[in-house]
Amino acid sequence: MNIPPEWNGLVSEQELLSRHSTFRIGGPARFFSQPKTLTELETLLRCAKREGIPFVLIGNGSNVLFSDQPFEGLVVSLAGYEPDLFEVNGNEVRVSAGMNLPRLALLLAQHSLGGLEFTGTIPGTVGGALAMNAGYGRTDGKPNQVGDFIKWVKVLPGEGNAEELGRAAIRFDYRSSSLAGKIILEACFELTKKPREDILRQIRESQDYRAVSQDLQHPSAGSVFKNPAGSELSAGKMIDLAGLRGFQIGRARISDKHANFIVNLGGSTAVEVLSLVSIARETVKRKFGVELELEIKYVSNETPAYAG
Ligand SMILES: Cc1cc2nc3c(=O)[nH]c(=O)nc-3n(C[C@H](O)[C@H](O)[C@H](O)COP(=O)(O)OP(=O)(O)OC[C@H]3O[C@@H](n4cnc5c(N)ncnc54)[C@H](O)[C@@H]3O)c2cc1C
């Protein structure tokens, strides 16, 4: 498989995916690119389609586990996409899918716009957060989720030109959305006026709480499993009660601080992480009769052409 001529200067070859995942795990990708504009992105997609090259889309790789094996296709990261797109119009904010969430939360604080301060400690991009309907904590007893603040989202469908989807055309569920499988380019959030100091204090409180409750010293992809619907117990609590807190295979370990985190102690592999995933699933199934569902996305040659 040769590099299509249009990709010269746009694509790197044999890029280690461990450099693009917060887990710091992953073999090389045959092709890798971080497009900055829609034209660059369209060039990548057009040639991949023409040449039959499978492709996978990521943001900051903070919810992804890459296989240890070489990926025989193109990985596109939108983490650097349209980096300057941030427009405020009253209570509405238009942002690039590539915008880093902690940066977004700080920019919104500068404009005294509240609602999304819970994203200030989530290490992903706006695109990844919308595909996953990322969330953290509760306000007035209701879980905070990015989908609740959406006015519209601009996407590139599998075929055709970019289009804007209004809020009513999108389904947001717990850690998933109907946007997964499309390419999210930008989004417009509807927020509310809030004192800057209150927003900054809330971000600081989340940082402090995470520092005591989660292992942020070691690479990870955050929570590995979704919390099971209808269960009193969280996935982490079940793994903990099943006696697996601190259980280790090779250099991968079920976190001592938060049993729904698997951490890379340095030099861990995807095989080790997946072994811990299987053991956690089997043990929780045996003890609680509950099937844990993965929250993280596993990316390998066997995953479909698009990791949505
Ligand atoms: C320490 C730590 C703490 C975390 N805490 C939280 C938390 O509190 N709450 C939470 O919800 N998550 C949390 N996460 C997980 C992760 O940060 C979020 O899911 C985040 O929103 C993923 O964004 P990303 O850009 O890194 O997406 P990636 O991990 O790169 O991708 C995730 C999925 O989104 C898709 N995707 C990415 N970009 C786009 C796009 N532009 N268009 C369409 N699809 C796209 C990918 O194909 C993939 O399927 C945490 C992770 C870590 C490491």
How confident is the model over 263-292, as pLDDT tens digits?
999 999 999 999 999 999 999 999 999 999
From the CA atom positions of the chain, what is the Rg in Å? 19
Residue 14 has pLDDT above 50, yes or no: yes
CATH 3.90.78.10 residue ranges in the chain? Answer: 217-296
Give yes or no for a contact between 214 and 226, defined as CB atoms under 8 angstroms apart.
no
Residue 1 has pLDDT above 80, yes or no: no
Q: What residues pair up with 267 in beta bridges, in sequence order?
A: none
Residue 304 has pLDDT above 60, yes or no: no
Is there a catalytic annotation at residue 51?
no
What's the 66 CA to ligand 1 centre distance in angstroms? 13
CATH architecture of 86-194: 2-Layer Sandwich (3.30)
pLDDT at 303: 76
Pocket test for ligand 1, best of 22, 41, 62, 138 (most atoms within 8 A of CB): 62
CATH 3.30.43.10 residue ranges in the chain? Answer: 5-77
Is there a catalytic annotation at residue 295?
yes
- Mean pLDDT, residues 69-84 taken together: 97
The single residue of 33, 62, 223, 255 carrying the catalytic annotation is 223
CB of 260 within 6 A of ligand 1: the answer is: no
- Mean pLDDT, residues 18-25 taken together: 98
CATH 3.30.465.10 residue ranges in the chain? Answer: 86-194
Structure tokens at 92: 């509405």
Query: Per residue in 188-214, pLDDT tens?
Result: 999 999 999 999 999 999 999 999 999
- The mean predicted confidence, pLDDT, of the chain is 95
Its CATH class, for the domain covering 217-296, is: alpha beta
Please, where are the H alpha helices in the chain?
38-51, 101-110, 126-132, 196-213, 235-241, 270-288
Calculate the CA dihedral of residues 122, 234, 287, 63 and round it to 10 degrees.
-20
CB of 118 within 6 A of ligand 1: the answer is: no
Confidence of residue 307 (pLDDT cuts 50, 70, 90): very low
Domain 5-77: give its CATH code.
Answer: 3.30.43.10
